[in-house]
Amino acid sequence: MQITTDRINTLLRWCEYTYVVVLLFALTQGPVLSLWFASSTQGPTNAVSAQLFTFIAVQIPALIFLGYRGVPRSSLIGPVGLLGLFCGWMWLSTVWATFGQHTIVEATTLCLTFLTGVYLARSFSLLEQLILVVVAMQPGLLWSRYAIANDWSNSVDQNGNWVGIYFNRNSLAPVAMVSCLAASALLWIVVMRRGKKLPITLLVILIDVVLFGAVMLFQSRSNTSIGGAVVFAAVWAFWTVVRSLIRRNRIDENALSRFVFPSFILGAGLLTWATVRLQSVVLSFFGETIDFNGRSAIWHYSWTGFLERPLIGWGWMSAWRTPPFMHRDLWWSFVNTGWSHSGYMDLLLGGGIFASMLFIGAVVWGGFRQLSFTTKATASQWTPAIMFFVLATATQESFFVGNHFLWLLFAAAVAGDLQRVNSPQDQS
């Protein structure tokens, strides 16, 4: 009887693994958009409704699992609760939004995907999360490569950049980059298993995944994800050094919380500020100018709009779809624009200063809460590194949105203290 119960539990666990792979695959958005692309011939409203329904439907099981397992009260009174308040504030912004009908949908999906991220953190260890992320990224990349090889319509844009099934190079690139980063983290775990024979087959598979993702990324010619990867590597390196110093008793827990972490936050803030101030120099390394894709003009227009309603904003993702915002100076230059091409500008426009303070608080508190985890579990550098990868890429694209896998991964990283540590002994 016990054997039968164990087999059933194992089968159910594998079914849940399969569900999460499908979930992450769908939230890369390209597969769902491609699935319902043909519906656009029947009218754009039908296609958008079908896409929205699909995104919501695929996340509902995660809410059921999360409701069954629950979230510890100690975690709710912390970064998880604070990020939840941020999402709740955006949902509340429907009250004063200039286009509440749009805001209620966008804010609801923002909350939904946040809870899905909490489910991921609550239900799976770090090692399980990494494996699931790597596996989930592959179908979209393989499908895209097949589409490109067979010259499918819109699989390559007019400039020769690979797009695949993602309709935009900046949508393909994050999928490829996250695949590379997660596979690299798994490689780190394998290599750091000192005293044990390296599994050659696994090494070959992981290296192949990294190289395949790198090729897809390079051919997309998207610089946003490359910049995010630089930040990811810097954060990973920082915490690797800290872990080494802790093992050698050069840093104690008191110094870690009082000096190391504040220095990390301060350094990250200064680096971000310097990058923005020296944007033209940074972009020159990637062959771009400060007016690339006209985003600097969009950001300026967004900033001036924020200054008109700085405290509570215009309502989540509402500003660009409302006449008062679009009837300001130079509005005619942005008639086909639906967002700010910057998660931070959309955040300021959507919820104002209050939302920004909640968001910053969740990031800082989330990092502080998981200091012990970050410095002990093997490859736990992933948690702060992927958090700052999303923060970095969001400077160029609106990734703080519902129904997107990067927002899910960000929420899971903020809720890092919910992870059940099942990884190998710390040897890195």
Length of the chain: 428
pLDDT value of position 15 = 95
pLDDT value of position 412 = 95
| Residue 84 reports pLDDT greater than 70 | yes
- Distance, in Å, from the CA atom of 97 to the CA atom of 5, rounded to the nearest integer, reads 52
Residue at token pair 């009837």? 327
pLDDT grade for 428, boundaries at 50, 70 and 90: very low
pLDDT value of position 147 = 93
Where are the chain's structural domains?
A: 2-418
| Residue 422 reports pLDDT greater than 50 | no
- Distance, in Å, from the CA atom of 66 to the CA atom of 117, rounded to the nearest integer, reads 10
pLDDT value of position 81 = 93
pLDDT value of position 143 = 95
- Tokens coding 335: 């008639």
Four-CA torsion 306, 409, 406, 12, nearest 10 degrees:
-140
Phi and psi for 162 in degrees, rounded to 5?
A: -70, 135
Looking at residues 376-397, what average pLDDT do you find? 88
Query: Which positions ≥6 away from 202 have C-beta within 8 Å?
Result: 190
Looking at residues 191-201, what average pLDDT do you find? 76
